[in-house]
Amino acid sequence: MNPDRRIRLKDIAAEANLSVSAVSMALKNDQTMSSRTVERVKQLAEDMGYKPDPALSALSAYRSKLRVQHQFSVIGLVTNWTEKDLWTSQARQKQVIQGAEKRALQLGFSLQHFWAREPGVSNKRFSQILRARGIRGLILAPFENNDDELDLEWNQFSVVTISRPSRYTLFHHVVQNHYMDMLLCWKKILDRGYRRVGLVVQKKIDMRWSNQWDAAHIFSQQQSGSVEDMIPVLRVEGEDDLDTIRGWLRDYRPQVVISRCHHFLEAVRLEGLKIPDDIAYISLNVNEDIADATGISHRRDLLGAMAVDVLNSLLQRNHTGPDEVPHGTQIDGIWHEGSTLPPLVQPVRSV
């Protein structure tokens, strides 16, 4: 065989004593093929030096996209909250759903919500219901409690999670890039001349995202400020921590505070302070904050659309079940210019 000639599916088929279509199906992990045949064909393809032709792959994907518009498939959006519509009824989650629905339609799918806690339905029965309806792809919504369990027959489905559930980290996850969001906040802070920067976060939310805000914040503090300017991160539980926040404000007197805490602004008001006259403010989620807040805007519609894109890729490859190593896609926030972070007179050097 000429070593310079591209190995084709036809060549592998001849060597494996299979049809070209069977070889193609095996390389795509088609579930109708036996695992033994799939592994044999993959090993043979590797040994022969087979590499897919990018142009042909693109043409095949384009043709598949044209065909699928006339043959809709359902993507299951699975929630596991204590009430059926508790997650889907939230305004911010509706943006995720709308983004996912729009992209699903563009790719020839429809999106259907399934509640995993239907009364009298076990996890096994729930998996059977999904399979009976011909559903092969699942988007797993964030859990109400990140440590919750949902033991479906995962190997029967292609799965993407919109979060990183602590017990299901091996599925491809699509999440907000909280670390880069915080670095963007610090860039804007330093560009405008602030030095004494505080961070107030809700402990439960902070832990759900593996303390990424804290990590980026402390790194930025160490890189840009003096020891005297470093203010400890304040993690709060809820309304009972109003006095804790007020004491923290009096003790450290920050010039600007970055926050993802619903009670911080109330504590500022009780202290008799005004934003931005007495203290500047950056929101880690302007989508759900006071009007005209400066900070990070989340493109939750894009998060939903990206989840569908990733799931479509898994379905095209017939990839089911968890991966061998964790991996995912992160969506960076966008800077929203409000009125709560005015520039100081003397800017300092950016990181």
Q: Is 58 among the domain residues?
A: no
**Where in the sequence is the domain holding 187, given as residue range(s)?**
178-297
Q: What is the DSSP letter of 225?
A: S
Give the integer Cα–Cα distance in Å for 103 and 313: 13
Give the integer Cα–Cα distance in Å for 245 and 265: 10
Same domain, 82 and 228: no
Q: What is the DSSP letter of 82?
A: S
Domain count, the chain: 3
Same domain, 195 and 291: yes
Same domain, 17 and 118: no
> What tens-digit pLDDT sequence spans the chain (351 residues)?
555 577 888 888 888 888 877 877 787 777 677 878 888 888 888 888 887 765 555 455 555 554 444 334 899 999 999 999 999 999 889 999 999 999 999 888 999 999 999 999 999 999 999 999 999 999 999 999 999 999 999 999 999 999 999 999 999 999 999 999 999 999 999 999 999 999 999 888 888 888 999 999 999 999 887 677 899 999 998 666 899 999 999 999 999 999 988 789 999 999 999 999 999 999 999 988 998 999 999 999 999 999 999 999 999 888 999 998 889 999 999 999 999 999 986 544 444
Q: Rounded to two decimals, what is the model's pTM?
A: 0.77
Q: Is 190 among the domain residues?
A: yes
Same domain, 196 and 264: yes
Q: Is 42 among the domain residues?
A: yes
Q: Is 261 among the domain residues?
A: yes
Q: What angle do CA 286, 349, 333 make, to 5 degrees?
A: 25
Contact 254, 198 (CB under 8 A): yes
Same domain, 162 and 307: yes
Same domain, 201 and 227: yes
| CATH of residue 126 | 3.40.50.2300
Q: Is 339 among the domain residues?
A: no
Query: Which residue shows structure tokens 């109003």?
Result: 242
Q: Is 217 among the domain residues?
A: yes
User: Which of these three, 254, 273, 297, is where a domain ends?
Assistant: 297
Secondary structure of 248-317 in the HEC alphabet?
HHHHHCCCEEEEECCCHHHHHHHCCCCCCCCCEEEECCHHHCCCCCCEEECCHHHHHHHHHHHHHHHHHC
Contact 293, 268 (CB under 8 A): no
Same domain, 272 and 310: no
Q: Is 345 among the domain residues?
A: no
Phi, psi of 251 (to 5 degrees): -70, -40
